[in-house]
Structure 1
């Protein structure tokens, strides 16, 4: 049984703040600062370049990849870290298309995070081989799965509403017509149990700065199913994906297994911070996390609907069909969120009208829900959001 009081005690949570934005950026693990300082002073400072060997920097992407594998239902040796999520989306899609060279149809959905679609369109343009990207509404994705399909590329949890795709059913449907499937787990990993191997996903990608709490700029991860890993050819043939990078061979030769999906130099300081977050995850059972998330989100929805009738639920009501977030819609969503942040309830806004609240049981409890609801109700009942200072858009929303 997960001790959530203990996990909460391991994070830096500023006094007077109820943090409901861990689905965008997780808070700081208390051990992170000392761990990064050790990396800077004892490793970089004293070992200098020998830290790549002595401190194990070069092995970190695969070592931490195995630790993330546990959280997404993947076997050891199938996950590696590095680069950004956008890069990993590009890598996965390029490799997937190469596995189905006779097909040109890519299906995503119009609720997908824009960067995934940007990457797909950019790749299509550079390949200039007649590929087509189809983006139906999320509920209509299954209708686009046919024998023309090369790749199904979906984000499991909709970043705006929290709506959750049925990973197993859609993967099975795509495989039935001979297609390859990529899942973006940006809002899944660390939110609830994920089983990429059990669902037979071909590829999966995700970030580590949201529910996994790796910090701003923490590296992304990529999973490749064992049956594909020795056959995929990386479109981004970086030197650290080479079979023997320190031979400095001018001809690229893909590395063994998941190592071939590495591209650039590992972000050593970011990985040090991420390591402390994964230490906390070692104390948690994802089934417990999901159960508590459902308790928190159901209570939040019930209380907000009872006290704030002008807010409209934008997330699925059934907790089994959404991620660990709740979204409400309002025409003045941006101003309302700024008023909430000024009162210490931190969520975020997603255009055009979504107030988004993330529920991360490692450090959010029922007292936080009750405190947040009281403040939200006060702001909505008394129109405290209707001030000029709350309506000026910042660069990050």
Structure 2
């Protein structure tokens, strides 16, 4: 909304209330056959399209900023995603979103890349694989971005180096890993999420008796921690890599010693911050890096500004002002020489924004694990 998009969560609620007060819409499901209570005649135009535009629904990044400030705790995201499910049911999905969903359905990842490519990043590294190790304390869930995206493969390797340095008992799934299904659910394809991704992963987790999971991606983290248990897939512990690294430093298992001279700003990812209230651990990690200075942005912590990739928009075309460029500009304004995040989607978005602004040479975009790994080397 702050970048000129048609979406206003508040307006969606107010328009919904007004429509229901008029007594015309007896159901908010787009495909429902509503009846005008005054005339008894069918309503010919659906709720979605007549009261709420599809442009509004597909503009939502599910950043949770609206829910953070709502004085009456309205759950706007659930409402919007529910309406997206109706659009999926009617096959009224933007082409770019449809393409991502088809890729997930056909290949098990939204990039649409072959399963064999999921382990390309492992070449030349000492990485324990679940199929060979059998028993381990932690499953390191690399995620689709960490496995397939070339920029985030560097982050994956940094995390592996940290885990090995700290002597963590872990393993990765390798070729057995599939998408967690988060993007499918946010885009409204509930069937693919539940019957596809969850069921495939449920069997894999059971085979290795997985109890503890380290995730690289806040979206995977939120999905495993808060959504898989809704379908009977539960873990003793689901922990994001920034929090895990913080615990390793606190327990003395690793100690950043190499000086990293530089001024950086830190971006609070929506699904790490507002969705899961994780703000302090990443900052404690950065405070442990010798020489690193943290210049905070005005919009930070629970008031952070989205990178623009959440809610499935990672896979969709964006109209108007680019959210990622707006956010990167906020970091530049602090006088920092780089921006640190802890989310693969955020990193992709900020990399793209830096290139679009032609500042990629002088303004660094990094994941928190890369900074730590560099300070350990």
TM-score range, shorter chain: under 0.3
Does 1 or 2 have the higher relative contact order (CA < 8 Å, sep 6+)? 1
Instruction: Give the structure with the higher percent helix.
Output: 2
TM-score scaled to structure 1, two decimals? Answer: 0.26
Structure with greater proportional strand content = 1
**TM-score, structure 2 normalization:** 0.27
